Amino acid sequence: MRGITRTVGVALAIVFAAACGGASTPAASQPAASAKASAPKFELSTYQYAIQTKGKLRIGSQEDNPPFSVKNPATGKWEGFDADFGRELAKAIFGTQDDIDKFIEWVPVVSATRIPSLTDNKADVIIKTFTITEERKTQIDFSDVYFVTGQRILVKKSNDTIKEAADLGAKTVCAQRGSTSEQNITKANPAAKVLLLDSYPACLLALQQGQADAVSTDETILFGLVKVDPNTKIVGKPFSDEPYGIGVKKNQNGDRQGFVPFVNTWLAGMIQDGTWGKLYEKHITPVSGDKKTSPKG
Amino acid sequence: MPGAIAFQFPDLFFGGLWVTIQISALGLAGALVIGTAVALLRISPAAPLRWLGAAYVEFFRNTPLVVQLFFLFLGLPLVGLRFSSDTFESIFRAAATGMALYHGAYVAEVVRGGLLGVDKGQIEAARSLGLSYAQMLRYVQLPQTFRAVVPPVGNIAIALVKNTSLASTIGVTELLFGAEIVESRTFRAEESFATATLLYLLLTIPLGLAVNYLERRLLVAR
Amino acid sequence: MIEFRDVHKHFGPLHVLNGIDLSVAEREVVVIIGPSGSGKSTLIRTINGLEAIESGTLVVNGIAVHAEHVDVNRLRKDVGMVFQSFNLFPHLTAIENVMLAPLKVRKLGRSEARDRAMRLLEKVGIPEKADAPPARLSGGQQQRVAIARALAMEPRIMLFDEPTSALDAEMIREVLDVMRDLAREGMTMLVVTHEVGFAREASNRVVFMDGGRIIEDSPTREFFAAPREERAKQFLSKVIRH
């Protein structure tokens, strides 16, 4: 039943990725990688040491989740904020390398497979717009917050009557069926009329065809939609909190010893030395228009 | 207890059921009219009309109903057509229209079979009495066809009722849609969908019984 | 009243009507006999336009049936036809079968159409079956309803296409009696049949066909006394023996 909307979604994602393909340069091919002397030293009992020894960090991310993670179909290279963030984590484990991708195994996931790919030990980390919730914390561990988003509103560029949630009264607002976005809209403005479709690309079509006045969900998803259709814009202040974390399998019998603290230390360093801000500027600013130096702003 | 949840969310379950009934009724009425008209095209003496009828059937039978619904909802505005300026009225009408167009193709095939099943001698008898082609259709060929096609059309009607659940993909707040919303709010998946199933059966089982009854009555009358 | 001039028709390779010349006057009763496949049925079916002719001319009741844009509905109002397989409408009762054309084609009022239909059912001897569906009638009763149905349009010509061939022996009589009465009343009739007794008793002329041609066309008395043609003789001897 959701085939059509998924098809539409994939088609849009391919168009988007192809558009980006021209700008990116393919990774230069290099002889087999070898860890350089600059690689950090870890305690033998830690998980980061185990990864370093194996020579590969397995990063789970989504192939079509712009601007956070997109696998460029033309080059096969992973791009986006989450992808580059993963590369930084790999550098923290393997040291500075000529081609850090040689030390990364990319594991494609979708929303529903994020937790299983950790608990089944298919991926070491999940970096994929992964909202930290109490319910999820019972099954896996999260790093500290590395990105904060909230629900905002997407409208046509020509629309200047809708500026924030308060303007949604009697307007048709599209959201994905079964998402928390739907309930957030009703909470923010009970007078809004919510049109529920199966996917956000379908909502974007409804917006383009004038069947919806606005689309509302996580700002990050709206970023992706703006990139697909530059005739749209994101308006209003966020009216919900969505903190993203890096997902890690829970430490059982010491199999993830010291890993979450290591990731948190690295994360703090990333923010402190300005790398986080640079990644934000590279991937998020082009669609959001703002600049940030840390998840908190 | 399955079904109890329906009374906690009456708007979503009973409201959804009512929307399902409305779309089913409108869709079925449309499908019968379209199906009969297309079947008449398909047996028409004029070849271009026959092709037109065949093209209709092949197109609507061989494309997924969801795609047709999406086209009616989001494709028609591309060419400036809109069922209503109100989005929710628009998706409701798109859903009813989609049901009529899609199932009309199936009804057309059944009715065509029924029309061809009427003895040629009767058509000649009617024509030799001076009835025009249209009068012959109306008073001789179609009445017999309608009796013959009650069982297969009944099956199409039941399929139509179930297919209305696809209207949820374009945002129509029918029965399945209601169940999904309740599920996403309460996480009581089994209860929500079991209740929706019960409510669908509440529609389809009496429909099946009605078809059986009509079939038996027509058999006696013949 | 009916005028065939050099009429031809093919069914694929079969030359089913091969140069037919035939005139039928008003009030005449003509019986057409001949072996099966000789073209008899096709011949009478051309008269009300159920079969089109390919060449020649055919004028019926002043209407040129061979013309390009002939109004067959007007033609058929004045030409009744009775078929071998009755062809009653199974979804209608006997009287509704008889009423249909007067109501829809002649645009009679309902009560008038009903009175007329009832009179005709009395005429064919089955008024008590008026409200029965055809499935509850015997073959002979069905064929009599079919005759009443054709007569309800008050035709000037009646065509009978083997009206008794599908009937059991004991029912043939009742149908032929109705036809004989009709002939006596002066109806113009063309009857394709193997019923030699009916031909002898009720017809003015006998037309013998074979291979798409009219082999012999004689007054009834002459035909049965001494058929001129050898083929007609042979056929007649076979039919009478059976």
- Residue A27 falls within a domain, yes or no? no
Contact (Cβ atoms closer than 8 angstroms) between residue A211 and residue A18: no
**Count of domains observed in chain C:** 1
Report the pLDDT value the prediction gives residue A201, as an integer from 0 to 100. Answer: 82
Cβ contact (<8 Å) for C153 and B130? yes
Cβ contact (<8 Å) for C89 and B221? no
Report the pLDDT value the prediction gives residue B41, as an integer from 0 to 100. Answer: 96
C157 Cβ neighbours under 8 A, 6+ residues apart: C1, C2, C47, C60, C61, C78, C79, C80, C187, C188, C189, C190
C-alpha dihedral sign at B71, B72, B75, B76: positive
Nearest-CA residue of chain B relative to A183?
A: B185
A179 and A250 both lie in a single domain: no
> How far apart are alpha carbons B3 and B191 in whole angstroms?
7
Write out chain A residues lying below 8 Å of B74, CB-based.
Answer: 202, 205-206, 209, 211
- Residue A275 falls within a domain, yes or no? yes
Instruction: Spell out the domains of chain B, with CATH numbers in brackets.
Output: 8-221 (1.10.3720.10)
Among the residue ranges A134-138, B15-19, C76-80, the one predicted with the least confidence is A134-138
Range(s) of the domain holding residue C110: 89-154
Write out chain A residues lying below 8 Å of B91, CB-based.
Answer: 195, 211
DSSP A39: P
Residue where a domain terminates, one of A200, A216, A240: A240
Which tokens hold the place of C54?
């390919």
Q: Which residues in chain B (40-79) have CB-CB distances under 8 A to chain A?
A: 64, 66-67, 70, 73-74, 77-78
Say which amino acid occupies A98. D
A15 and A118 both lie in a single domain: yes
Work out the angle between the directed axes of helices B150-163 and B189-221 (0-180°, nearest 10): 170
**Residue of B217 and A1 predicted with greater confidence:** B217
**pLDDT tens digits, C10-23:** 998 999 999 999 99
Among the residue ranges A81-85, A110-114, A244-248, A269-273, the one predicted with the least confidence is A110-114
- Residue A297 falls within a domain, yes or no? no
How many percent of chain C have pLDDT more than 90?
Answer: 77
A263 and A128 both lie in a single domain: yes
Write out chain C residues lying below 8 Å of B143, CB-based.
Answer: 91
**pLDDT tens digits, A80-116:** 999 999 999 999 999 988 899 999 999 998 777 888 8
Tell me: pLDDT of A16 over 80: no
- Residue C204 falls within a domain, yes or no? no
Write out chain A residues lying below 8 Å of B67, CB-based.
Answer: 4
Cβ contact (<8 Å) for B131 and C101? yes
Interface test with B, best of A8, A180, A195 (most B CBs within 10 A): A195
The answer to whether C and A touch (≥3 CB pairs < 8 Å) is no
The whole-number average pLDDT for the span B183-203 is 84
**pLDDT tens digits, A205-232:** 999 988 999 999 988 889 888 888 999 9
Q: β-pairing, A104-108 with C14-24?
A: unpaired
A201 and A233 both lie in a single domain: yes
Write out chain B residues lying below 8 Å of C88, CB-based.
Answer: 122, 125
Write out chain A residues lying below 8 Å of B177, CB-based.
Answer: 177, 196
- Residue C160 falls within a domain, yes or no? no
Q: Give Dmax (Cα) for chain B.
A: 69
- The C-alpha of C230 sits at a distance from chain B's nearest C-alpha, in angstroms, of 35
Coil, strand, or helix at residue A154?
A: strand
User: Please, what is the average pLDDT of chain B?
Assistant: 91
> How far apart are alpha carbons B198 and B204 in whole angstroms?
10
Cβ contact (<8 Å) for B121 and C133? no
User: Please, what is the average pLDDT of chain A?
Assistant: 84
Question: A247: domain CATH number?
Answer: 3.40.190.10
Among the residue ranges A111-115, C55-59, C178-182, C212-216, the one predicted with the least confidence is A111-115
- The C-alpha of B169 sits at a distance from chain A's nearest C-alpha, in angstroms, of 6
- Residue A54 falls within a domain, yes or no? yes
**Count of domains observed in chain A:** 2
Contact (Cβ atoms closer than 8 angstroms) between residue B88 and residue B130: no
Q: Does B117 touch chain A (CB under 8 A)?
A: no
A188 and A251 both lie in a single domain: no
Write out chain C residues lying below 8 Å of B127, CB-based.
Answer: 50, 72, 76
Contact (Cβ atoms closer than 8 angstroms) between residue C161 and residue C146: no
> How far apart are alpha carbons A156 and A232 in whole angstroms?
4
Whose tokens are 């707040």? That residue is B173
Q: Give Dmax (Cα) for chain A.
A: 64
Report the pLDDT value the prediction gives residue A126, as an integer from 0 to 100. Answer: 96
- Residue A83 falls within a domain, yes or no? yes
How many percent of chain A have pLDDT more than 90?
Answer: 51
A132 and A161 both lie in a single domain: no
Residue whose C-alpha is closest to residue A172's, from A217, A212, A209: A212
Q: Which of B130, B135, B144 sits opposite C91 (nearest CB)?
A: B144
DSSP A102: G
**pLDDT tens digits, C164-205:** 999 998 899 999 999 999 999 999 999 999 888 899 989 999
- Residue C114 falls within a domain, yes or no? yes
A295 Cβ neighbours under 8 A, 6+ residues apart: A145, A146, A147, A148, A243, A271, A276
Range(s) of the domain holding residue A284: 10-20+39-147+243-288
Which tokens hold the place of A149?
């988003």
> How far apart are alpha carbons B203 and B164 in whole angstroms?
12
User: Please, what is the average pLDDT of chain C?
Assistant: 92
ipTM: 0.90
A43 and A135 both lie in a single domain: yes
**pLDDT tens digits, B105-123:** 999 999 999 999 999 999 9
**pLDDT tens digits, A171-205:** 999 988 766 788 889 889 999 999 988 778 889 99
Find the DSSP H helices in B62-188.
65-70, 87-117, 120-128, 133-136, 142-148, 150-163, 175-186
> How far apart are alpha carbons A194 and A192 in whole angstroms?
6
Report the pLDDT value the prediction gives residue A37, as an integer from 0 to 100. Answer: 53
- Residue C214 falls within a domain, yes or no? no
Report the pLDDT value the prediction gives residue C226, as an integer from 0 to 100. Answer: 82
> How far apart are alpha carbons B138 and B142 in whole angstroms?
6
Report the pLDDT value the prediction gives residue A227, as an integer from 0 to 100. Answer: 82
Report the pLDDT value the prediction gives residue C241, as an integer from 0 to 100. Answer: 57
